[in-house]
Amino acid sequence: MVSLLIRNLDDAAVARLKARARGNNRSLQGEVKSILESEARTTEKRPGRSGRRELKIHTVNIPTRVTWSRRDVYDDDGR
């Protein structure tokens, strides 16, 4: 068995994990272990290279002809 140490985890994230653990009648460690094992199983089943998640792209039809500037799309000045 391998042990993991997770440093600098946000206090709010820990509070949410503790609440989730209570809801599932588990300890914090048991809840985190369950989440990691579940995610590892799901990753193995996903198609694609090296267990990466599939990228899903949704398109939207815009009825008018619109020209978009880089700033409109990326909210930057192109640098």
Q: Per-domain residue ranges for the chain? A: 8-53
Question: Which of 38-74 are b and which e, b meaning 16 or more Cβ less than 10 Å from the residue's Cβ?
Answer: eeeeeeeeeeeeeeeeeeeeeeeeeeeeeeeeeeeee
- Indicate the pTM of the whole model: 0.53
For residue range 3-57, what is the model confidence (pLDDT) as tens digits? 888 888 899 999 999 999 999 999 999 999 999 999 888 766 655 556 566 778 8
Confidence class of residue 61 from pLDDT cuts 50, 70 and 90?
confident
Residue with tokens 């709010």: 12
- Is the predicted pLDDT of residue 2 greater than 60, yes or no? yes
pLDDT at 68: 74
